Structure 1
Amino acid sequence: MKAYKKYMAELVGAFTLVFIAAGAVCADFYLRREGGQGLGLLGISIAYGVVMIVVIYATSYISGSHVNPAVTISFWISKRMDPNTAIMYILSQITGAIIAGLALKVLFPEALNTVYLGTCMLSPGVSIGRGILMEFIVTFFLVFTVYGTLVDKRATAGFAGVAIGMVTLFGAMIGGTISGGAMNPARVFGPAIASGQFTHHYVWWIGPILGGIVAGFVYDQLFADVRK
């Protein structure tokens, strides 16, 4: 398969993921502004989890459906991907996320200076350390699930999308009360570029990337098939 097809799949996948996940936050704001109940944390988390399922089934056979720099960096560190390919994956993911953020800026202009187009923020009273720890933990679960379903050949075929989507949903629901439960630097970076909101932005790079690296190390050391 041509390499550019993998990069385009990562770009389109990241665009879709960020547009729906961050767009759900924007839609929730618009609904509440009009006096409705809004989507709430559960609705926003469901949107994130379901779009992850969709993206995985749509692109996994093309690029592996990383759509997340934390996943790609984990693969890079665990030597499942060469550096040049990893860099191109990350650039593709970030590009897709930025395009999604700009699209949301056009579609939801009143969400620009209110919910910052769905950019994750630390909840009031939450320290930087707590935010990083939350993102570390929920990303660990996510990347561990990726290794156990998409990477490990012993896994039951066809269930990776559902498994990863569900852990994304639960991670967003639990992490949403602390750090937004992004589990993905691109998920935050795209809306941040479009909205200009970069407060404590490094939280959503440090936590997810460390969580992904540790998940890959733990899986390789304790659970991977040593016969491969």
Structure 2
Amino acid sequence: MPFAAHLRVAFRRHWPYYLAEAAGLACFVLCAGLLTVLLEHPASPLAPWLPAQPVARRALMGLGMALVIMGIVYSPWGKRSGAHINPAVTLAFWQLGKLRTSDAVWYVLAQLTGAIGAAQLLRGTMGHWYAHPAVNFTVTEPGPQGPLVAFWAEFGISFLLMVVLLVALHSRRLKRWTGVVMGLLLAVYIVVEAPYSGMSLNPARSLGTALAAGSYQGLWLYWVAPPLAMWLATVLFRYLYHGEDLECAVLAGCGPSPASPHTMGEEPPHYPTQHPE
């Protein structure tokens, strides 16, 4: 069957999953933009009560975004699609064989659509609030240390995130807490790493905000460092676990159980060998 036909079949079967991925990343970008306006814009209604120290405001941002990512991961739609909301995460699971190639293509396209659409919505509705230099369209750009430092900062946080994610999903005790662990790690990254690279981890998120801002400084590194780092994390995972497999590519954890949104006989896109196309 030609690959275009595989794409058509996959879309007919799994379009709700792709819609969930687009909506999940759109929600993430929207929440990041709104929180940044509230915490950083000098005319924000919260400005009189916010701490003057940037690190304290980043801590508030980190807490807010941790709750957002947990909400996405454990939402019914997030549990069904896997809540990757990141092309680098999707490519890592594809590399591990937990996602068909056709599904991976649609996932990435959906994530790009969600990120670009949300950033354009913020630009169109919030105007000068979103464009203010203190907010700057929430673009991710290299910090004063330069693009080389930003590259390795993105590489390091992406590698650690994927290693932690895979180890947690491999553990029967921890897999249900993967979303919580990811949220807490994201909060730490926002506080500690954001000054070096803007703390992206996500090529689609960076592209969406760059298009809204019309600014592409260092955009290449956000498309190279996270996917490369997460791919290497999958290589390390296979080496340490001697080829042992994951049950699925769902960040909330999975497996047949009363709490799982999937039952035996279903065809979620993260079981690539269950129903060959």
Q: TM-score, normalised by structure 2?
A: 0.74
Q: Structure 2: how far apart are the matches of 1:221 and 1:31?
A: 50
Partner in structure 2 of residue 56 of structure 1: 73
* Contact 1:134–1:179 (CA under 8 A) maintained in structure 2: yes
Match of 1:91 in 2: 109
| Structure 2 equivalent of residue 4 of structure 1 | 15
Is 2:143 the partner of 1:123? yes
Q: Which amino acid aligns with 2:161?
A: L
Q: Give the aligned residue type for 1:145.
A: V
Please tell me the root mean square deviation across aligned C-alpha atoms, in Å: 2.3
Which residue in the other structure is 1:20 paired with? 31
Across the two proteins, how many residue pairs are aligned to each other?
Answer: 226
CA distance in 2, matches of 1:227, 1:24: 38
Distance 1:90 1:153, change over 3 A: same
- Percent identity over the alignment is 24
Q: Give the CA deviation at 1:64.
A: 0.8
Equivalent position SS for 2:196: coil
**Deviation at residue 109 of structure 1 after TM alignment:** 1.3
Match of 2:221 among 186, 203, 206: 203
* 1:46 counterpart letter in structure 2: L
Q: 1:222 and 1:22 mapped to 2: Cα distance?
A: 38
| Contact persistence 2:32–2:65 (CA under 8 A) | yes
Partner residue in 1 for 2:185: 167
The answer as to 2:167 corresponding to 1:148 is yes
Question: Which one-letter code corresponds to 2:227 in the other structure?
Answer: I
Contact residue 23 and residue 118 of structure 1 kept, 8 A: no
Distance 1:88 1:191 in 2: 21
Supply the AA of the counterpart residue of 1:29.
E
Unaligned runs of 5+ in 2: 1-11, 247-277
Per the alignment, do residues 224 and 93 of structure 1 end up closer, same or farther by CA in structure 2, a change over 3 Å counting? farther
SS across alignment from 1:120: coil
- Contact in 2 for aligned 1:66/1:72 (Cα 8 Å): yes
Aligned pairs (5 A) from 1:185-196: 185-196=203-214
> Tell me, what secondary structure is at the counterpart of 1:79?
coil
Give 1:155 deviation, angstroms. 4.2
The 1:210/1:23 distance shift into structure 2, 3 A limit, reads farther
Counterpart amino acid of residue 53 in structure 1: M
Q: Is the 8 A contact 1:73 1:209 kept in 2?
A: yes
Cα distance in 2 for residues equivalent to 1:48 and 1:197? 24
Deviations 1:78-106 (A, max 9, x none): 32222211111011011010111012112
What's the CA shift for 1:225?
A: 6.5
Relative to structure 1, the CA distance from residue 196 to residue 113 in structure 2 (aligned partners, 3 Å threshold; closer, same or farther) is farther
Match of 1:41 in 2: 58
Give the letter for the 1:194 counterpart: A
CA deviation profile, 1:154-211 (whole Å, cap 9, x unmatched): 3435312111111111122222020011111122111111121111111211111111
1:7 deviates by 0.3
Q: Which letter does structure 1 place at the counterpart of 2:237?
A: Y
Kindly indicate whether the alpha-carbon contact (under 8 Å) linking 2:24 and 2:78 is maintained by their aligned counterparts in 1: no
2:199, 2:239 → 1: CA distance?
27
Residue 240 of structure 2 corresponds to residue 222 of structure 1: yes
* Structure of greater Rg: 2
Q: Which amino acid aligns with 1:226?
A: E
User: Out of 88, 107, 126, which is 1:70 matched to?
Assistant: 88
Unmatched tracts of structure 1, length 5 or more:
none
Contact 1:52–1:161 (Cα < 8 Å) also in 2: yes
Q: Deviations over 1:119-157 (max 9, x none)?
A: 112222x1211101000111112222222234x263435
Contact 2:41–2:132 under 8 Å retained in 1? no
Question: Residue 131 of structure 2: which of 112, 137, 156 is its match?
Answer: 112
